[in-house]
Copies of this chain bind each other. A is one copy, B any other.
Amino acid sequence: MTSTGTKNPRERYRAQVRTEIKERAWEQIATAGASALSLNAIAKQMGMSGPALYRYYAGRDELITELITDAYRSLADTLHSTATATATSDADAGAGAGLAALAHAIRAWALADPQRYFLIYGTPVPGYHAPDDTTAISSEIMAILLDACAALPSDGPATPFDRHLEEHREWAGDHPASPAALHRALSFWTRVHGVLSLELAGHFTGMGIDPAQLFAAELDDLLAR
């Protein structure tokens, strides 16, 4: 902490108010969705009147952007924890234990607050451009997935997409994973998201099937490729 860490009481209070604003915002989003988020309502809930909130956030967009970043950060931290936790219990389970643990961690994180998940992976606003920190966290998440995929054996011949990935591995940074591992990471991401997104949106309700079992089946199939 060189210049301004958390010392002066002005900044302490400011940070405290900002976090309380975000807490109220998360409550509103969880119950009514992000589109129903009202800065006015938050201000009134906190006992201050309307425009006072603009001292802390320049506007709705800035608040939502920070919520998105926080959501990304939360997901990345969760996955990092499970990754290190399963790395500790090394070879007691199968090779796919790491990926399976990540999958269930993602699902639990999403089910805990579906709207938080949709804030990241839901309907995008046409004009919106994600800030750099979210893309950084996103590649951080991909790195975790790649670590787990690199621990798996890759049998079977290389697919055309594997060859495509061989020439397009910018997104993996300098991760030393095989094209098959890159492929499995992408497939993991899309398949987990596919089941999860439909489940959270309620598209399975009334169908009679158990989303958890469908999720597990997709995971098994991915691991048994």
Residues of A within 8 A of B (CB): 30-35, 115, 118, 121-127, 135, 138, 159-161, 164-165, 168-171, 183, 186-187, 189-195, 197-198, 200-203, 206-210, 213-214, 216-218, 220-221, 225
Q: List 15 A-B contacts (CB under 8 A).
A: A34-B123, A115-B123, A115-B126, A118-B123, A121-B198, A122-B123, A122-B201, A135-B206, A159-B220, A161-B217, A170-B207, A170-B208, A187-B221, A189-B198, A190-B191
Tell me which residues across on chain B come within 8 A of A115, comparing CB atoms. 123, 126
How many copies of the shown chain assemble into the complex? 2
Question: Do the beta carbons of B35 and A35 come within 8 Å of each other?
Answer: yes
Question: Do the beta carbons of B32 and A126 come within 8 Å of each other?
Answer: yes
Tell me which residues across on chain B come within 8 A of A160, comparing CB atoms. 213, 216-217
